[in-house]
C-alpha cells in the first residue's frame, strides 16, 4: 500500500512570484517525513504540489516531476482529481463539512470514489478507529461534524482522509490550532500509521518533528537546504543555516 514519492526539479509560482526554486527530494515509503523551515519558505506550497492542489489557486502553477510510485503526477493527461484520491491531505485549520454528519464527513470521499454502499460503514469505522476517534463518536455518528471540539474535528479530518486508504498522507501543520493533549493524540496516530502509510508533515514545531519524523527536510526561501534522517538533521546538521534554525538563532 505505501508508495514513496520522488520529487524532481519541482518549481512553483504564484502568478509571477516564484515560491519554489528547484526542489529535489525523496519521500521514503512507509516513513514519516517532516518539512521544517521559517514562515513563508514554501512548505505549504511544496506539500500542496504533491497532490496537485497548488494549481487550484488562481494564477498558481508548477513545473517539474513528482513521481508517485511509477506515475508522474505532473505527466501529460494525468487527472489531478484521480491523483487526489490516492493522496490524502489534512489542513492547518480543521475543516469538516458542517452541513454533514460525522459519518457523512468520513464517507464523503468514499461516495466520490464510488465505493459500494455495503462497504461504506466498515470503511468509515476503520478510518475513525485509525484516527483514534471511534470511541468518542460511535454513539453520535449522525450529529454534525461541527459539534466536535477542535482536536476532535482535526481527527475527523484525518479520518476523512484515511477512509480513502491513500497511498500518501499529507499534513500541513495539523496541530498548530490544537491544544497539547490533542496534539499528542494526533502524533500517536501518526506513529501508528508508520509502515502502512507514507506521511509528509509540515510543522513549525521542531520537537514535533523530532518526535514523529524519520526523515526531515529543512526549507529556506523555496529551496531544500538540507535533507536527511531526523536524527542527523537535529544532532549533526551539515549546513550552517540548518544549525542556526534548529538552535533558534534564526527566523
Ligand X SMILES: Nc1ncnc2c1ncn2[C@@H]1O[C@H](COP(=O)(O)OP(=O)(O)OP(=O)(O)O)[C@@H](O)[C@H]1O
Site residues, ligand X (CB under 6 A): 14, 17, 19, 37, 39-45, 57
C-beta separation of 201 from 32 below 8 A: yes
Question: Per CB under 8 A, does 179 bind other proteins?
Answer: yes
DSSP SS3 for 35:
strand
In terms of CB distance, is 16 or 117 closer to ligand X?
16
Q: By CB under 8 A, what part of segment 104-123 binds other proteins?
A: 108-109, 112-113
**Which of left, alpha, beta for 233 (phi over 0: left; psi -120 to 50: alpha)?**
alpha
End-to-end CA distance of the chain: 38
Task: Write the CB contacts of 150 (distance below 8 Å, at least 6 apart in sequence).
Answer: 94, 177, 178, 179, 182
Question: Per CB under 8 A, does 150 bind other proteins?
Answer: yes
> Binding other proteins by CB under 8 A: which of 14, 26, 65, 97?
97
Q: By CB under 8 A, what part of segment 45-74 binds other proteins?
A: 51, 53, 56, 58
In terms of CB distance, is 43 or 160 closer to other proteins?
160
In terms of CB distance, is 17 or 57 closer to other proteins?
57
C-beta separation of 27 from 6 below 8 A: yes
Angle CA(175)–CA(43)–CA(51) in degrees, nearest 5? 90
Rounded distance, CA 55 to CA 122, Å?
Answer: 33
Residue 1 binding: pick among ligand X, other proteins, Mg ion, none (C-beta 5-8 Å cut-off by kind): none
> Binding other proteins by CB under 8 A: which of 65, 147, 176, 229?
147
Which positions touch other proteins (CB under 8 A)?
51, 53, 56, 58, 81-86, 88-89, 91, 93-100, 108-109, 112-113, 146-147, 149-151, 153, 157, 160-161, 164, 177, 179, 182
Amino acid at each position: 500500500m505505501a508508495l514513496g514519492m520522488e520529487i524532481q526539479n519541482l518549481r512553483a509560482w504564484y502568478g509571477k512570484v516564484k515560491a519554489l526554486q528547484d526542489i529535489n527530494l525523496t519521500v521514503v515509503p512507509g516513513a514519516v517525513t517532516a518539512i521544517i523551515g521559517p514562515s513563508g519558505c514554501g512548505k505549504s506550497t511544496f506539500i500542496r504540489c504533491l497532490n496537485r492542489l497548488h494549481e487550484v489557486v488562481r494564477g498558481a502553477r508548477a513545473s517539474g516531476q513528482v513521481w508517485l510510485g511509477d506515475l508522474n503526477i505532473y505527466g501529460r493527461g494525468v487527472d489531478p482529481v484521480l491523483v487526489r484520491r490516492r493522496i490524502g491531505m489534512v489542513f492547518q485549520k480543521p475543516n469538516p463539512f458542517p452541513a454533514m454528519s460525522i459519518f457523512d464527513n468520513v464517507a464523503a470521499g468514499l461516495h466520490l470514489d464510488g465505493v459500494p454502499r455495503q462497504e461504506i460503514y466498515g470503511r468509515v469505522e476503520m478510518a475513525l478507529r485509525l484516527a483514534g476517534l471511534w470511541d468518542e463518536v460511535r454513539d453520535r455518528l449522525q450529529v454534525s461534524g461541527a459539534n466536535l471540539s477542535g482536536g476532535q474535528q482535526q481527527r475527523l479530518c484525518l479520518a476523512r482522509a484515511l477512509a480513502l486508504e491513500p497511498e500518501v498522507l499529507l499534513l500541513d501543520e495539523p496541530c498548530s490550532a490544537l491544544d497539547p493533549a490533542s496534539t499528542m493524540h494526533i502524533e500517536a496516530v501518526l506513529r501508528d500509521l508508520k509502515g502502512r502509510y507514507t506521511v509528509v508533515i509540515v510543522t513549525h514545531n521542531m520537537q514535533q518533528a523530532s518526535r514523529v519524523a524519520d526523515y526531515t527536510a529543512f526549507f529556506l526561501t523555496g529551496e531544500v537546504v538540507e535533507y536527511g534522517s531526523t536524527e542527523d538533521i537535529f544532532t549533526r546538521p551539515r549546513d550552517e543555516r540548518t544549525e542556526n534554525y534548529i538552535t533558534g538563532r534564526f527566523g
